[in-house]
Structure 1
């Protein structure tokens, strides 16, 4: 794994593989670990065979002692009885390795090796599976069991005769079942009198292992089917909605946002549902932003068309008019239209860049009280038209500190004051009040104008939507001042509304709410 620039971890290779095969692979890998039980059965079989070898060695010692204790004439009867009890074939050899007695020749055929060519297909399949597992786990292959004519051709007989021990050997029958032979010397006063050898076909070991393997296979098959079905179900519940969301996102990217309905998956309460609803909300916000941009572009074109038409008409008139007085009037119209377009373009440029600039702005502590004092002092120094008065009400002891961008916040209150001045009557009073309200700073700007009708109180904050006084000269305002003010305030996590005055006098009250820096 490698670490990306944003600190998240990503996989080098699995990110190139679809989720469905990845889910299947994880679950099938767990099943492969379960399938390791097949190889455990091989170890289990080896332990049983080792136990049987040790048992055969002990039994042949006891048989040799029993043969030594009876008369040679009674050995055949004893051999038959012991062969029936142990399930083994007994052979007696003299000290020269010559066969002198065989329970098979005496009529007891209790050890008969099966011909694999005469067995059904199920046994053949089992033998093939045995061989495959032995090859995979590297199990040593026992030598093939074949009858031998001379006694010393058997390694166990030869070893027992020479060392007087009880060796045992594991052989492989044609049907892959184990054959265990063991031999022990019959000792007397004059030394070794002969050797007894036992032969046992341990088919029960192979049968036990195959039965357990079959049971494990059935369990593994059932678990595999259930695991695959659950994996497909899990992949379907994850991959299918993700693909739907991806297709919807592609359509949005291709510019078909209005036609796309991103599935919200309301019934899902998991991460996929959260992602679906987040993408749906994002697409709706994108659609609203696109609609607002298009409406803004249409409004800009409309607002620019009027001064351009007036400017073109005045310019065309200048080429035909020879009267100096009329020419001066037309030039005045040109100047007004140019100023109007310059103001309009400046406001449009600022309004279009506000969101992006505020998202990147570094907020610093701003003293709203000091800023409003300076703003009103500048207004008084420049002089206010029509004798309008300004008053700032606030407690000097209050620290009206907010986190923000000072120049932008100053633009908010400049726009509100400009708006109040334009609607105030001659000699009217504009009151600005600032006070703390718990964790917020509330600034109220009141005028004595006609006020804002209740049905138009939200409309006045729309771009190019302005209810101007009839006495105001046309084109003096762009209709963007209040829209810019709301954008700036909301960019500072605040709010701005317009309401009626509490004293029931005529006029409007704009209320700006901003979060204080030192919240209690």
Structure 2
């Protein structure tokens, strides 16, 4: 049974899926990967901090150039004797080291020599592991984002060897540069020209910029760790709530495919109201329907075997007896038995073939509007014209003309009603009446077929629709019916989303009432 459930087309389609990368990766890592994308975007903030630091340094460089120009103008406005005091005050107020050079590069004044030692470079060898880790991270990020490497800061004795001082000598009023200290903190130098031809050079170690960037990076790291932990937890929870049920359903489906449907209990997941719960319940219902179909097929095969054995046994006995019988009358009787058995086998095979293919044919059928009222009227008129057996009268009550239209296959529905009418006629007494009524009840069409025969006992109202269950009138010859008529009728009606059943008569008279309900076309 299992190989029949796998087609070459499905295997080829599965091969195409396996060629795709997503077909080879489980849902759990894929969910984690999708959520990791958001984390990577957040981690991109580390690289944004580099541009943030560059903007701060650009602003500080412009500020240092303006301050150098203002301090140069202030020094030029005071007498030479007051310049050391003003230079000291400016160095203390701005937190920079100030030096004045002559036009030939000779040093004239230095705030550090005047006692203001506010410029000091940190020896990286004296830092702890935290600062070393921070410098390593700075270097790694600069290498990744390919940040321009600033030159290393070095002291120069001759003022003309300072690039900013030399730039002032070429006609620029101010000049500023950014350097790299040994501990990777920025050093900003700025030079301005004095009216007397001297040069003012300011130097500051902008550690606060590096500290600010590192603080922001630490905050971003903490945020990234927290978000990563939450995202990982949610991803695992999501993967568990999605992947685990799907794996259970897949294992159950595989076992059903391998022909173990009777042993498999597909989980229905009643607590889940999402799409996975709907899928689980749909697969469970499908497996139950498959199991019922398998049981019905096995029972049908057993019933077919049993029903075919009886006429075959009778046919074999008659054929064996023909070889030994010489009496013409007896041979004629045996030939009549053979003919009846062949006719019975032909009817059985035809009905069995129709019953076995009916479900598949209805599933592929194209339904069209069918006027059931007109169909019943035509059937009643045809039987009346050729005279009904034993003088049975047919009466048709039709309500709501033109509105008794259903969607279906006309030939199949005609077979249902023909079977019900023929059964009613065969069970009706001589001169009895068979009543057919069609009416609209809400959004459904209801067709009633009533006879005046012995009726159907309450305990047999369901069993008469089983295959090969046959209860015939006492005067009818054996083998005239296969016992599949009502079973085929129920299959057709249910294939049209309808219902057929036996109900007691409201007038409490003897007889049976068969009721067929079908949804109307507009519904």
Q: Structures share a fold, TM > 0.5?
A: yes
Give me the whole-angstrom Cα distance separating, in 2, the residues matched to 1:275 and 1:18: 19
Give me the whole-angstrom Cα distance separating, in 2, the residues matched to 1:320 and 1:152: 142
Q: Secondary structure at the match of 1:265?
A: coil
Within-5 A mapping of 1:274-289: 274-289=278-293
Q: Deviations over 1:142-169 (max 9, x none)?
A: 1111112321111112222442622111
How far apart are 1:226 and its partner, in Å?
0.7
* Structure 1 residue runs without a partner (length 5+): 1-9
Contact 1:401 1:518 in 2 (8 A): no
1:291 correspondence with 2:295:
yes
Give me the whole-angstrom Cα distance separating, in 2, the residues matched to 1:51 and 1:273: 60
Contact 2:404 2:440 in 1 (8 A): no
Contact 2:392 2:429 in 1 (8 A): no
1:390 correspondence with 2:393:
yes
Q: Deviations over 1:8-67 (max 9, x none)?
A: xx9976455433233222222122222232233222222221222222222222333343
Give me the whole-angstrom Cα distance separating, in 2, the residues matched to 1:497 and 1:359: 22
How far apart are 1:267 and its partner, in Å?
0.8
| 1:6 corresponding residue in structure 2 | none
1:311 correspondence with 2:319:
no
Within-5 A mapping of 1:84-103: 84-103=92-111
TM-score normalised by length of structure 1: 0.90
TM-score normalised by length of structure 2: 0.89
Cα distance change of structure 1 residues 477 and 84 upon mapping to structure 2, 3 Å threshold? same
| 1:336 corresponding residue in structure 2 | 340
* 1:409 aligned residue (413, 417, 424): 413
How far apart are 1:438 and its partner, in Å?
4.7
Cα distance change of structure 1 residues 54 and 344 upon mapping to structure 2, 3 Å threshold? same
How far apart are 1:421 and its partner, in Å?
3.2
Within-5 A mapping of 1:44-63: 44-63=52-71
Contact 1:388 1:421 in 2 (8 A): no
How far apart are 1:91 and its partner, in Å?
2.1
Cα distance change of structure 1 residues 95 and 502 upon mapping to structure 2, 3 Å threshold? closer
* 1:347 aligned residue (332, 339, 351): 351
| 1:159 corresponding residue in structure 2 | 167
Give me the whole-angstrom Cα distance separating, in 2, the residues matched to 1:349 and 1:473: 23
Contact 2:156 2:162 in 1 (8 A): yes
Within-5 A mapping of 1:27-176: 27-163=35-171, 165-176=173-184
Contact 1:449 1:506 in 2 (8 A): yes
| 1:482 corresponding residue in structure 2 | 486
* Structure 2 residue runs without a partner (length 5+): 1-16
Q: Deviations over 1:303-333 (max 9, x none)?
A: 1111112212222222233333332222222
